[in-house]
Structure 1
């Protein structure tokens, strides 16, 4: 089966530190008659990668082995990566990915929601926590504005389910006009309470939508949340990039790995003719990624459909799952999942215990 391994070893997508074989993702190869069986296991979200692999290598594998039928198996078992500052894990949560931005208005929450849904689509168990005290928009974007978490034991809240995603938000718990006038300690305490007093269950990735900015509140939250890694959302123009740089510096200060930059509104995609127009300039995200030696994880378009989907409470990944916009988020999820895995050495997965009376 060396010929099979040699062919599969050519598969190394952008952002991977090792190829499919040397990374240990090929678990079993066997041939019985004219049937070649290949079992793969990925330690991060990436279910649709199997289609890429089969499309690229199926013909060559048949030619190399004489097999007429290929039997592929792919399992997703998300690894747990180290938490910043050695903080204790939240029960049942393997990884916490913080989505942050140096300033507001760059599409951070839109990106966080679609990233979470895309990670779920790629085979992971995902939840989202809306920690944006200045403008908790996750309930609107998920179509759960009127929902409220319930508690069956008076101790833990049950997350609100939307699009198969577990969610909790400051927006569910306080009146809209109250959330924006909280002082730092009150806001940080509220975040810690929501994080630790929600019955998340078993979750591979908890995506946290952080407040925009890099002030004391954001710094305190970054220090309190047992974060696996952060991603920074920005737009290409110089003003946004200057603030995004502060975001990278903040996470470096509290020893939270920054997986990379997501350049949102990278270009305007005309819904009538498909014309690409870089309204906010070009190349800013790439230059910043090179400056800080982090990855440019994705370049997402400015498109009217994304805005409409979010306003309707049906995010793009759910509303048009086979469309080009949804595929852009899926590719982003693949990059983020792989970047997190290759960012460190996996550790033991925190146990999730369930009381018998539950």
Structure 2
């Protein structure tokens, strides 16, 4: 171990015995599968209609021409097959398991599709349940899926943690209800997503109101909504407010959720479509540990942020591989970087980046992640801080 060790292995290039790399828990998708976008549907507590929202989202996107699928991660309380009227059992081969298709072609995999009887309880401990969720990702053959919706169990326990660590979730939708108690529960779910660097697409409030068929007035059966306060607190979007509708409940009970009539989730569908269209942007911040470095070529490490839909979805730190003139622009280009952020940079390096179609933002300072968030929000613009004719001229990327 070096005398100057700062215990941050991600910013160090030394190969020492004490080196600790971050553990990678990600699981590979079955080699025969193809899934474009993965959306988690979560709630901090049970009974708010999370599975209903999951089902309706899959149906909504399916109606828009996308091939959708549902991975039912609520292992001990699966309800997705019931909502879709699926009574058959999943089959498989030496290649893997095959999901069951609903009446309109939505692929579904759930514990109930593997049990002999739907009423058989799943009496498993946490690690086994988490392992089953991973197998639904790795062992099931998901064929050309545009949007996969993962129906999570309530809370912030083993399964949500497993999903966030093992599956490349593109974003989550948090389902809530009007009760004031839910505010605290939603905060827990939101904070967990933030800790795991999972983008939060927004909030959906279920059982928001009841529209009386006699006078067409809205009645707040469960009291006033607090969703706007929650959204403002966590800087989130309110995506939709679903009513208490006996017809939807009846459709679920009869296994006919695919016939539900309503446009409440159309705004969510439009956001998901934009996610499907928008490409991933990779941003490299020349840094000294977590802070933006003043001189590009003098950076200790690069904090790399993968972003989508103007949100950070993944981040990592890599050590600066060397200060050889002209090397770093090519190195970052080979990594697929689209934007480079730094305090200052040599004019030659900027020219090389521009030739490769990489945007350069100079004049940044402060925390690296905050700088990226400012860039995504449109608040960080290049100041033109080019390193000219100073003692570091040959080491600022030229």
Band of TM-score, shorter chain = 0.5 to 0.7
Length-normalised TM-score, structure 1 = 0.66
Q: Larger radius of gyration, structure 1 or 2?
A: 2
Is this contact kept in 2: 1:297–1:336, CA < 8 A?
no
Is this contact kept in 2: 1:133–1:179, CA < 8 A?
no
The aligned runs of 1:206-285 (5 Å cut-off) are: 206-285=148-227
CA distance in 2, matches of 1:346, 1:227: 8
Alpha-carbon shift at residue 178 of structure 1 (Å): 5.0
CA distance in 2, matches of 1:255, 1:178: 36
Gaps of 5+ in 1: 1-84, 348-358
Q: Deviations over 1:48-94 (max 9, x none)?
A: xxxxxxxxxxxxxxxxxxxxxxxxxxxxxxxxxxxxx8946634101
Is this contact kept in 2: 1:297–1:335, CA < 8 A?
no
> What is aligned with 1:96?
38
Alpha-carbon shift at residue 176 of structure 1 (Å): 4.3
CA distance in 1, matches of 2:200, 2:313: 17
Q: Deviations over 1:283-309 (max 9, x none)?
A: 411111111011111111111111001
Is this contact kept in 1: 2:96–2:141, CA < 8 A?
yes
Is this contact kept in 2: 1:171–1:179, CA < 8 A?
no
Of the three residues 320, 330, 334, the one matched with 2:270 is 334
Is this contact kept in 1: 2:170–2:313, CA < 8 A?
no
Alpha-carbon shift at residue 345 of structure 1 (Å): 8.8
Gaps of 5+ in 2: 1-23, 279-308, 315-398
Instruction: Give the 3-state SS of the residue equivalent to 1:157 in structure 2.
Output: strand
Alpha-carbon shift at residue 346 of structure 1 (Å): 11
CA distance in 2, matches of 1:130, 1:279: 29
Cα–Cα, structure 1 residues 215 and 239, in superposed 2: closer, same or farther, change >3 Å? Answer: same
> What is aligned with 1:30?
none
Of the three residues 127, 144, 148, the one matched with 1:185 is 127
Alpha-carbon shift at residue 181 of structure 1 (Å): 2.3
CA distance in 1, matches of 2:313, 2:222: 38
More helix by percentage: 1
Alpha-carbon shift at residue 136 of structure 1 (Å): 0.1
Structure 1: which 4+ aligned runs deviate by more than 3 Å? 85-89, 175-180, 335-341, 343-347
Give the RMSD, CA atoms, in angstroms.
2.3
Cα–Cα, structure 1 residues 193 and 164, in superposed 2: closer, same or farther, change >3 Å? Answer: same
Is this contact kept in 2: 1:266–1:278, CA < 8 A?
yes
Of the three residues 242, 259, 267, the one matched with 1:319 is 259
CA distance in 1, matches of 2:51, 2:126: 20
Instruction: Give the 3-state SS of the residue equivalent to 1:298 in structure 2.
Output: strand
CA distance in 2, matches of 1:159, 1:192: 15
> What is aligned with 1:158?
98
> What is aligned with 1:140?
82
Instruction: Give the 3-state SS of the residue equivalent to 1:308 in structure 2.
Output: helix
Instruction: Give the 3-state SS of the residue equivalent to 2:133 in structure 1.
Output: helix
Cα–Cα, structure 1 residues 214 and 344, in superposed 2: closer, same or farther, change >3 Å? Answer: closer
Alpha-carbon shift at residue 335 of structure 1 (Å): 3.3
Alpha-carbon shift at residue 157 of structure 1 (Å): 1.4
> What is aligned with 1:3?
none
Alpha-carbon shift at residue 339 of structure 1 (Å): 5.9
